[in-house]
Amino acid sequence: MVEGTAAEPPILVSACLLGVACNHLGRASASDAVIELSRTRRVVPVCPETMGGLPTPRPAAEIQADGRVTTSDGVDVTDRYERGARATVELALAVGAREAVLKERSPSCGCHQVYNGSFSRTRMPGEGVTARALRQAGVEVRSEEDVSDI
Number of structural domains found in the chain: 1
Residue 30 lies in a domain: yes
Strand partners, 101: 13, 142
Strand blocks (E) in 2-148? 11-14, 43-46, 61-63, 69-71, 99-102, 113-115, 123-125, 140-143
| Domain of residue 119, residue span | 11-145
Residue 5 lies in a domain: no
Q: Is residue 55 part of a domain?
A: yes
The pLDDT, as a whole number, for residue 6 is 59
pLDDT digits (tens, 9 = 90+) for 102-145: 999 999 999 999 999 999 999 999 999 999 999 999 999 999 99
Q: Please tell me the predicted confidence (pLDDT) of residue 62.
A: 98
pLDDT at 3: 52
- Domain membership flag for residue 21: yes
Across 69-79, average pLDDT: 97
How much is the pLDDT for 59?
Answer: 96
Rounded to two decimals, the pTM is 0.93
Give percent of the chain above pLDDT 90: 92
pLDDT (mean) for 37-52 = 97
